[in-house]
Chains A and B, each alone.
Chain A
């Protein structure tokens, strides 16, 4: 804005006359909400995106870049196995537990808190479920509910200690990291294993949908996604609200559709080892479970006032408090959500391994999940993150795990590389944040 536009006559007052001669040193390109009313073109949108990247708001870019690099790397090292249809299905199932756990952690990380006990909480909840089913013959649905209730109770305890007593979440959850392992050990017994015989639980990670059902779900999801995106754009356009160029919306819809249908195609290929064997293939049952969780979490974070308040508290807790937001209650709630999702993750992991052991969810489980969230683009400093980060990051982590397995890498190497990746992601996060504050974004 180089010159002041004339002001309406009715506001011409003493103060106004001074204004017109004052230097206008605005850095913003437009005024009068020009960016809102003018339809963005693709090129201005791309310019805007480049500015966003330069100022340190990387979004999903590092995760997508990492995915591509890792896929090329492992494909060139193990061309015959890595991208085979057997391995792709296996890879997805491998990614399920870590993805679900990471999705829960996104909520905690949004407030700038951490839950180090989420991994062992998933093990303890799975132990509760398995013990109930095996020892007491409880129906699977009730056992799952009990596991979720256990998660809720754990989350409530963490939340109360962090939000009300105000112990740093790092300390509280480190204590629970130890304590919950003790509980799992007590429940299952040293060296013990509780097998999973229940058909429904077993099916989560070991059974596949019928081909027609997989295709139907993929096509319906793609159509619904396209419908939602286009309807929203149309409504924004009609009301003259700020919106993205329609071309970008179409590209995004097309990419999602290709991913969904491509995934359905690969997973519905016949994976039977011999031509004469009966058909073996389909989408793992755990995939729609993660899809439902993704939709639910995305909705809560993006479309409800609860989600909006989470971002606000993560961005500026004092501002949120002054705006009348109950920060204590929000802080408690994220730990409860995280622990319940940890329970779900534990159930899926138990299904994948057909059993629960006392060390379920210990070891590198939590490291993987935090890594997944951060690699996906969730900030460790709070206020920035999306549910989809867990999916992208979970895939990256699963590919590393899976690819190193195919290479026959030693366990020590696996730990070193995964730890290195977490540090790399955290460094990108910290540097991007520094960049953001330097460029005032």
Chain B
């Protein structure tokens, strides 16, 4: 690994099986603060399983998880949240009938006594969006139902940032968006990294990945085919890594790549 400093989150030799199906083989992944790490792979490569392991939804069978250099155990979504790992799922977890500020604080409302502290929540929501340079919403008191897909994704990401999170995992954040909205979300992903977060971007979309990622980790049938700097690879190399597990000198050994099939 050529990076300096301690990764915000590091996975070492993760294995996970569902019954007889060995889904993750000795997977290593490092997420550095201030960087976007793209996690890519074809359908069934194990991306979802990997992020669900990070989220504490699936316990791993073997391997170590290090958070800021210390070995940790993530047994539940709450453990992950307590560490400062926030996952933004593809199907956005927002309630349409609540406004932006209410959604951002859902489940973690600020209170004075038993009364909700609306003023402080509204201000904090606006500050967080402003910090991320979100300019596309006119009021944090807008109902989420009235937002476009891109704006919703923005709110979901901002919600993750509000909690002093250190690692933000984004699951296919642009999958359902149009061109302009994809633009907004990619900008936001970049700004997340600039504000010091370690960002994991799970994506299918090569254009998105090449635009915002600093590192690209390719999964191929449950193995890490390559973990490379974006600047060191080309589009077609990454596509080959994704589809065949190897590309020239990069990737899995021919025997391993073939065996996986």
Contacts and interface: CB of A to CB of B under 8 A. Distances in A.
A322 B93 contact: yes
A43 interface: no
A242 B108 contact: no
Most buried by A among B96, B140, B179: B96
Given A384-B97, A441-B146, A24 B137 contact: no
Interface string A325-364: 1000000000000000000000000000000000000000
Interface string B56-86: 0000000000000000000001100100000
Most buried by A among B114, B135, B145: B135
Interface in A392-441: 436, 440-441
Interface string B168-205: 00000000001110010011001100100000000000
B187 A241 contact: no
Given A15-B211, A315-B98, A324-B107, A33 B140 contact: yes
A232 to B, nearest CB: 9
Nearest to A436: B145
A190 interface: no
Contact of B180 (A16, A22, A241, A324): A22
A383 B137 CA distance: 23
Interface of A is mostly: loop
A5 B135 contact: yes
B143 interface: yes
Most buried by B among A11, A55, A304, A316: A316
A322 to B, nearest CB: 4
Contacts of B107: 309, 312, 320, 323-325
A8 interface: yes
Interface string B120-163: 00110010011001011111111101111001000000000000
Nearest to B135: A31
Given A33-B137, A320-B106, A323-B106, A312 B95 contact: yes
Most buried by A among B145, B186, B194: B145
Contacts of A15: 186-187, 190, 211-212
Contacts of A305: 109, 111, 116
B106 A325 contact: yes
B217 interface: no
Most buried by A among B91, B95, B116, B119: B95
A304 B115 contact: yes
B30 interface: no
B93 A36 contact: no
B218 interface: no
A319 B93 CA distance: 4
A428 B123 CA distance: 36
Given A314-B97, A319-B94, A26 B136 contact: yes
B93 A323 contact: yes
A11 B139 CA distance: 23
B78 A324 contact: yes
A121 to B, nearest CB: 28
A308 to B, nearest CB: 6
Nearest to B110: A305
Contacts of A303: 115-116
A441 B145 contact: yes
B187 A316 contact: no
A312 B106 contact: yes
B155 to A, nearest CB: 12
B37 interface: no
B135 A316 contact: no
B253 to A, nearest CB: 34
Contact of A28 (B89, B122, B137, B179): B137
A296 to B, nearest CB: 13
A105 B256 CA distance: 62
A440 B145 CA distance: 6
B210 to A, nearest CB: 11
Contacts of A55: 146
B139 A35 contact: yes
A305 to B, nearest CB: 4
Most buried by A among B78, B180, B183: B183
Contacts of A24: 180
Contacts of A316: 93-97
A1 B147 CA distance: 15
B187 A319 contact: no
A32 B187 CA distance: 16
A25 interface: yes
A13 B191 CA distance: 9
B102 interface: yes
Nearest to A302: B116
Nearest to A51: B146
A16 B114 contact: no
Nearest to A24: B180
Given A15-B212, A316-B97, 20 more contacts: A7-B133, A11-B194, A13-B190, A15-B186, A16-B190, A22-B183, A26-B136, A28-B137, A28-B138, A31-B137, A34-B139, A35-B138, A36-B126, A36-B139, A241-B118, A311-B95, A312-B107, A316-B94, A319-B95, A323-B106
Interface of B: 77-78, 81, 89, 91-98, 102-103, 106-109, 111, 114-116, 118-119, 122-123, 126, 129-130, 133, 135-143, 145-148, 151, 178-180, 183, 186-187, 190-191, 194, 211-212
Interface of A: 1, 5, 7-8, 11, 13, 15-16, 18-19, 22-36, 55, 235-236, 239, 241-242, 303-305, 308-309, 311-312, 314-316, 318-320, 322-325, 383-384, 436, 440-441
25 contacts: A1-B135, A13-B194, A15-B211, A16-B190, A22-B179, A30-B138, A31-B135, A31-B138, A33-B126, A33-B129, A33-B137, A33-B138, A35-B142, A36-B122, A236-B119, A239-B119, A239-B123, A241-B119, A304-B115, A312-B95, A312-B98, A314-B97, A316-B94, A323-B106, A324-B78
